[in-house]
């Protein structure tokens, strides 16, 4: 598979704007698009094998798993154990589920938790100065997983706090193998 970390889906910003204001977002489809090196709309057109009309405006884990299966991936689910750093998956690509926290650092519960979940893509590629793991976030772009940017992303800190959002933790991740 061609390296993914330089690919930014050309329609990412447009679809982010279309769906994010409706208590949803395209982080799941955008993460898949970045790994597949395809526009987000192309992923949505094949969502659940039915098309964009089956996309709820957000991506429950079951929909993510079904769409990945349709695209030819085998998936191994891993627990994130509320990690405050990005994982080191055993496969060269993964999708990470991040649970954002409330402004006071407390977790959201039940339905609120689902609305404060975020997906990012990870891929391992040769990297002279880091671990080789890169993260794609549809509202930030690509950054190294295991350096200052990765730490600040999950801690919700950094030069521009609004860019990273609230703090969060890795709740789970999907190790992906394309068959």
State the CATH class of domain 12-178.
alpha beta
Nearest to 173 by CA among 105, 95, 91: 95
Whole-model pTM: value is 0.91
pLDDT in tens, 77-131: 999 889 999 999 999 999 999 998 887 888 888 777 777 889 999 999 876 676 7
pLDDT digits (tens, 9 = 90+) for 36-71: 999 999 999 999 999 999 999 999 999 999 999 999
Strands 93-100 and 141-144: unpaired
Nearest alpha-carbon partner for 97 in 77, 69, 120: 120
């Amino acid at each position: 598979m061609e390296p993914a970390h330089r690919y930014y889906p050309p329609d990412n910003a447009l679809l982010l704007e279309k769906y994010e204001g409706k208590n949803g977002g395209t982080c799941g489809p955008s993460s898949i698009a970045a790994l597949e090196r395809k526009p987000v709309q192309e992923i949505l057109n094949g969502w659940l094998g039915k098309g964009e009309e089956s996309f709820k405006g957000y991506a429950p884990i079951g929909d993510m798993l079904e769409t990945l299966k349709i695209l030819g991936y085998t998936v191994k689910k891993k627990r994130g154990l509320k990690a405050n750093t990005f994982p080191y998956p055993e496969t060269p690509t993964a999708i990470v589920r991040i649970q954002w926290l409330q402004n006071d650092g407390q977790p959201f519960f039940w339905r609120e938790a689902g609305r404060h979940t975020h997906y990012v893509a990870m891929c391992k590629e040769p990297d002279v100065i880091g671990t080789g793991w890169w993260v794609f976030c549809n509202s930030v772009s690509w950054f190294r997983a295991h350096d200052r940017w990765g730490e600040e992303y999950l801690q919700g800190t950094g030069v521009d706090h609004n860019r990273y959002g609230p703090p969060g933790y890795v709740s789970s991740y999907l190790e992906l193998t394309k068959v």
